[in-house]
Structure 1
Amino acid sequence: MVTVRKLLVVVGAVLLAGCQAAPAPPPPSTPAPGAVPPEPSASAPPSSTRAAPRGVVVVLDPGHNGGNARDRAAINRPVPAGRGRTKPCNTTGTATNAGYTEHAFTFDVARRVGQALSTHGIQVVYTRDTDDGVGPCVDRRAAIGNSAGAAAVVSIHADGSNAASATGFHVAYSAPPLNPAQGEPSTRLANTLRDGMRSAGFTPSNYIGSGGLSPRDDLAGLNLSERPAALVECGNMRNATEAAAMSTSDGRQRYADAIAAGIERYLAR
């Protein structure tokens, strides 16, 4: 016959066993010193648990300018372009077949990108503050990024291929690199910008570069940069579909959101 005392002892033992904490999970593995973490998938969205550090400087370089066409002498003046070369100070840029200009497109998109970055505490510097001036020259644009000590310099452009079938974006970076900033930092910036564009539904170029990336040795703004720098060609303004998107406020906001996401992902690494 089981006594009440023995029954209480058995029940107490069962209750104590059920309240024991589960074994602690093993600590996460620590990569070996100097190991490089794997690159996230190109289709993976930016992490929601990490944010770009506040107070860093990003330089946004909207291509061309609205007054360039009225001062050909100024924009045709040769300036240093890196690698021992010179190039014209600037150009007028391209336009859609309906006349919407590249300089207006890049200025508007850059402002939208800047607004998005500013809301996250990122300091934004522009290479031009209006869309009715001349220049600045390509070497001056690089100098603005250098003097600002920018964590990233992003030039925003649109292409003007006359082939109607030419479509898609590409991101250019200086190659081969001329300084450490043009090495891994710039290629990583180009990759994250490319990934941001693809994640937003934009298609990589079918006529320039490969997979949305285009290494270049002839772009002065990239060659002369001493900061991580890349140039986004958002698409072909002569392609009817892309021209229609670039000519609307909603379309320009999509481009801006994609570029801002790429920049923020780069800064969060």
Structure 2
Amino acid sequence: MSYTGPGFDPPQPRRSLRGPLTVALAALVPGALLGWAVYAAVDGPGNGGSSAGASATASSSGAPSSTTPSPSGDRKPSASPTAEESPSPSASPSAPAASGPLKGKVVVIDPGHNPGNFRHTAEINRQVDIGTNRKECDTTGTSTDDGYAEARFTLDVAHRMRALLEEQGATVKLTQDADRPFGPCVDERARIGNAAKADAVVSLHADGSGAGNRGFHVILPGAVDAGAADTRAIVGPSRDLGERIAGNFVRVTGSAPSNYVGGGTGLVTRKDLGGLNLSTVPKVFVECGNMRDSKDAALLTSGAWRQKAARGISDGIVSFLRG
């Protein structure tokens, strides 16, 4: 997902690390963040080298960084699978839940965009109501400079997460599994999670910002009460879910929080996303990295790293659901 183009607003201004988001994340995962700092210092695998550590340090100190993203969608996304991608066994909602600590829990995974969206631009440009205003049904998403599409990335991570969460006993549903020509629209994605009475919903994305902008961030719903949108009841639990995902993502992947949004916390609150505004159950978006930065792209296109990303997000969900 990019912060430019149809349906995407500019990133929010960076906030001081003394703000409440930093306190919350620091309280949650001090060991994980310290571990990442040591990991980056020795240039361990998965962090893209010492430049990532430098970026995170600059962000943590409040030093300015570029927030000018590059346009996405100037390359046609590649739809062919690679050997590293996890297979999709079927488009069924979930295999029968196994016995485990998450028995009886429902998790909805929302793989951002759809590999076929670029063939249906008229349909995805249709305006839908998101409560606060009207926005495009969906977008094509972004891609790496080599053409690896965000929609392929999100589906692959979703399949890996489904397997991990089902092992824990959860019932897992996907909003789409490349089993439809395009979409679903952002309002329908929210309705799928609501109708499932999901205990947690995670929407998967990768950003399309400018080169040099690195790292992941988790988008939390802001308090909205307008039209069909009323997020007031889910703001608190969604923040808890997002903080746990952020902490576990750092711990498992070794990746740093974003150096261009979130003030180094890896957490951003937004009120302009229909998938969050229309949700009635705890929900967050995860931007796993920036596809337009070569170092982040090297991670996002690695099957081994995508497995780590799936594990980190899943561990955060498990932590949230187990309290």
- Aligned mate of 1:187, from 218, 224, 239: 239
For residues 167-189 of structure 1, give each alpha carbon's deviation from its aligned partner in whole angstroms, at most 9, with x where no partner exists: 00000011125334422111101
Q: In the alignment, is residue 74 of structure 1 matched against residue 126 of structure 2?
A: no
- Residue 206 (1) aligns with residue 256 (2): no
Amino acid at match of 1:249: G
Equivalent position of 1:261 in the other structure: 315
Quote how far apart the aligned CAs of 1:40 are.
5.8
1:38-86 per-residue CA deviation (whole Å, 9 max, x = no partner) reads x9631457xxxxx843121000000000111111110000001122x11
Amino acid in structure 2 at the alignment position of 1:41: L
Q: CA deviation at 1:132?
A: 6.4
The aligned residue for residue 212 of structure 2 is 165
Match of 1:23 in 2: none
CA distance in 2, matches of 1:147, 1:102: 26
Q: Which residue of 1 aligns with 2:204?
A: 156
Residues 248 and 315, structure 2, Cα contact 8 Å, conserved in 1: yes
AA partner of residue 202 (structure 1): S
Kept after mapping to 2: 8 A contact 1:60/1:126: yes
CA distance in 1, matches of 2:28, 2:284: 20
**Equivalent in the alignment of 1:223:** 277
Counterpart residue type for residue 170 of structure 1: H
1:202: Cα distance to partner?
Answer: 1.6
Contact persistence 1:127–1:141 (CA under 8 A):
yes
TM-score (normalised: structure 1): 0.80
Cα separation, partners in 2 of 1:140 and 1:129, compared to 1, 3 Å: same
How many residue pairs align between the two structures?
224
Q: Who is 1:18 aligned against?
A: none
Closer/same/farther in 2, CA of residues 52 and 230 from structure 1, 3 Å limit: farther
Contact 1:104 1:131 (C-alpha < 8 Å) held by counterparts: no
- What is the TM-score of this pair, normalised by structure 2? 0.67
Note the residue ranges of structure 1 that are not aligned, 5 or more in a row. Answer: 1-38, 46-50
Larger radius of gyration: 1
Q: Which amino acid aligns with 2:291?
A: M
Partner of 1:28: none
Q: Deviations over 1:155-175 (max 9, x none)?
A: 0000001x2110000000111
In structure 1, what is the Cα distance between the partners aligned to 2:220 and 2:286? 9
Match for residue 175 of structure 1?
222
2:152 and 2:216 mapped to 1: Cα distance?
18
Q: Distance in 2 between matches of 1:248 and 1:131?
A: 24
**How much is the aligned-residue C-alpha RMSD, in angstroms?**
1.6
Q: Does 1:104 align with 2:152?
A: yes
SS at match of 1:121: coil
